[in-house]
Amino acid sequence: MAVFHRGRPVVDLTGGYRDRGRTVPYGPDALQLVFSTTKGVVAACVALCVQRGWLDPAAPVQTLWPQLPAAVTVEQLMSHQAGLITIEPSLTLEECLDWDTAVGALERTVPDWEPGTRHGYHAITYGWLAGELVRRADPAHRSLGTFLAEEISAPLGLDLWIGLPANEEPRVARLLGAPAPTDPVELAQIAERMGPGTRGARALTVSGAFAMAGRGLPWNKPEVRAAELGGANAITNAHSLAKLYGAMVAEVDGVRLLDADTVDAVRRARVSGTEACMGVEMTFGLGFMLDNEFNPLLAAGSFGHPGAGGSLGFADPDSGIGFGYVMNQMHGGLAADPRPAALIDAVRRCI
């Protein structure tokens, strides 16, 4: 885990092991896939487009992207209101790894509900939706991964990629699946919300494309880490996450990503309440998840995004905090991971 405070690194801790046998230390050079913590990274790319006048949050997306089968505004798309929670007819995993194939199939998908009338977690499709928005808004029409690399990672010196270069692959720590839950109530909730055929399962796996493959997670495959999947496959470390969020609310090494007006715009709540895919309470700003019981952050004004298994990145403008936590041992269940929660409490006590 790592913390930046008003532009300065104040905490940077690494520990544990890269394997279940506890023979390979998890060192500071390790990289980690962070699942939906990726969405906050992509939201930062969108925020830069807004700040530069390339995107208007209130503008209809179809003005920029006429093929999108959902009549929503930019802010509705970024707050999971498009209804495009999966791709149907379903694609294979290999097809999902090709950007143009996935986006083209998404353009032919019928939304699950009338766009703009409710919100439901676009677990994987968020990456194609927001990423294509960035590509079309950017005057240079760069891919999402290239935009991130050139506009954010390079200026800040981050170990942060969407689309991992092959030479960085050996640094990635393999994800270890979460222990199976044993509580009957929790098991019943998971079956109801994410069992076969449910909206939750369809959204989380893109109707089966990202389901468990054989004995392992598809997310441990090098070809999955090399693709540009802006909903779930950023590769980074805690230091880079904390530095990214720290630079959204303060100057870090001479770089300030977002001005105060943009920060206020991205953390203004667009939707709140029970979402339509997993049945949990979620509050969204412009792509960022805001502080609530499902996603407890440092304070009411904080904004960021958690990821499956426990990873988390967020900023708190009032205290000037940028926070990052990553792990290879996944936490299971629907409740917030107690590991980052304990670390957040420690930060709160310090400030």
Once rounded to an integer, what is the mean pLDDT over residues 148-173? 98
Looking at domain 2-350, what is its CATH homologous superfamily?
DD-peptidase/beta-lactamase superfamily (3.40.710.10)
Segment 96-115 shows an average pLDDT of: 98
pLDDT for 214 beyond 60: no
Is the CB of residue 324 less than 8 Å from the CB of residue 315?
Answer: no
Helices 238-249 and 37-51: crossing angle in degrees, nearest 10, is 30
324 strand-pairing partners: 2, 313
pLDDT at 289: 98
pLDDT in tens, 239-249: 999 999 999 99
What is the predicted pLDDT for the residue at 216? 66
pLDDT digits (tens, 9 = 90+) for 165-174: 999 999 999 9
- The answer to whether 204 touches 120, Cβ cutoff 8 Å, is no
Region 298-321: mean pLDDT is 97
Contact predicate 2/236, CB 8 Å = no
Rg, Å, the chain Cα set = 19
Q: Is the pTM of this model over 0.95?
A: yes
Mean pLDDT of 121-141: 98
Domain chopping of the chain, boundaries: 2-350
**Residues of 199-221 as b/e, b for ≥16 C-beta within 10 angstroms?**
bbbbbbbbbebbeeeeeebbbbe
Residues with Cβ within 8 Å of residue 121, at least 6 apart in sequence:
80, 85, 200, 203, 275, 277, 278, 282
Q: What percent of the chain has pLDDT over 70?
A: 98
